Amino acid sequence: MARYQSITETVGDTPIVRINRLAPDGVDLYVKVEAFNPLGSVKDRLALGVIEAAEASGELEPGQTIVEATSGNTGIGLAMVCAAKGYPLVLIMAETFSIERRRLMRFLGAKVIVTPAAGRAVAMIDKQHELAKKHGWFMTRQFENEANADYHSKTTGPEIVRDFEGERLDYWVTGYGTGGTFKGVARVLRKERPETKIVVCEPEEAPLLESGIEQERKPDGSPAAPHPAFQSHPIQGWTPDFIPKLTADAVAMELADRILTTKASESLKCSRDLATKEGIFVGISSGATFAGALQVAREAGPGSSVLCMLPDTGERYLSTPLFEHISVDMTEEELEISRSTPAAQM
């Protein structure tokens, strides 16, 4: 049994799992399950990476308050790291995101400021800058902080290279929230596994990268306004209403071999299928990425190997459409089983 000095030491080294019942015939389809991070998402890596980088550089002072705009998973990861290290944390979150996320962040000791839905992600970031300037708080700046991508180049990318050593890896499929996973892993694969094709997924309802429209930005790299190609979609944490600087940089570096759009309905279905047919419990963004990976796998030749990132756990989505078909009370089928089964056999 491993022994650790802090919960932060358990971040990373997540498992890669073979897909058995949902994979197309003749294709080896794997998923990297980031829900195995201590607070249940890939953003635990981001949180630890940006805070440790700021500590090392001296930008973050002991006991200084940290502030960040988040759709939820980054905030939860930051709350875990800040609790372990003793930093006060203030998070900014639009009211559209699931209430489970707010409660988890507050449970971990963070303060959560909720902004109106109409302002979307850009308003969250504006509020972050306003509060940081007013109080002298430290901004982790997840969407443009290079320490985000650097941590994935240090951990996630090398984990994938190690776990596929001596084996085929034809495609790596990911979505993007901040772009940290995309940029950080992709540049490792370009160097270590140049034969691997990198596929980046985004919602069909909000095809920001596919549109080719340049994002208007402020001098600090943050968005000046919502991207004109953005429309609301249910894939929380996946593709905000702007193209993050880390993502834009990765595209400019030609790290993506293909940009693929996925439908929200297919994303929900894939999340449910992963649960009921593979026993893998993940959220909507994972379902969206997996939908893209299935398309890639169907088009790949026999013997191909595909790896898909699964960003988070399904427990973040209990109040969302992902669970709307799940009854709290017994279903008719369950009632019939209850009525027809002798008590002694129950």
Domain range list for the chain: 7-36+156-323, 43-139
For 58, left (φ over 0), alpha (ψ -120 to 50), or beta? left
Confidence of residue 116 (pLDDT cuts 50, 70, 90): confident
Q: Look at 17-26, 91-100, 184-193 and tell me which has the smallest mean pLDDT.
A: 91-100
Q: b/e string for 142-169 if b means 16 or more Cβ within 10 A?
A: bbbbbbbbbbbbbbbbebbbebbeeeeb
Active-site residue, from 285, 286, 304, 305:
285
Contact by Cβ (8 Å): 142, 180: yes
Contact by Cβ (8 Å): 149, 251: no
Mean pLDDT of 271-284: 97
pLDDT tens track for 250-271: 999 999 999 999 998 999 999 9
Contact by Cβ (8 Å): 100, 318: yes
pLDDT reported for residue 105:
94
Strands 197-203 and 171-174: parallel
Residue in this structure with the two tokens 């759709």, named with its chain if needed:
71
Q: In what order do the strands lie in the sheet with 258-262?
A: 16-18, 28-33, 305-310, 171-174, 197-203, 258-262
CA 168 to chain centre: 25
pLDDT tens track for 39-81: 999 999 999 999 999 999 999 999 999 999 988 899 999 999 9
Active-site residue, from 32, 41, 43, 286:
43
Count, residues in the chain: 346
Would you say the CATH fold of 43-139 matches that of 7-36+156-323? yes
43 is catalytic: yes
Confidence of residue 237 (pLDDT cuts 50, 70, 90): low
Quote the mean pLDDT of the chain: 91
Residue 343, pLDDT > 60, answer no
Residue 205, pLDDT > 70, answer yes
Confidence of residue 345 (pLDDT cuts 50, 70, 90): low
Distances (CA, A) of 154 to 13, 159, 261, 312: 11, 9, 28, 20
Residue 286, pLDDT > 90, answer yes
For 282, list phi and psi in degrees, rounded to 5: -140, 170
Question: Residue 130: which residues within 8 A CB-CB, separation 6 or more?
Answer: none
Question: Is CATH 1.10.3720.10 the classification given to domain 7-36+156-323?
Answer: no
Residue 258 is given by DSSP the state: E
Confidence of residue 100 (pLDDT cuts 50, 70, 90): confident
285 is catalytic: yes
Residue 232, pLDDT > 80, answer no
Question: Is CATH 3.30.1280.10 the classification given to domain 43-139?
Answer: no
pLDDT reported for residue 341:
57
Quote the pTM value. Answer: 0.91
pLDDT tens track for 174-193: 999 999 999 999 999 999 99
Enumerate the β-bridge partners of residue 259: 200
Mean pLDDT of 186-204: 97
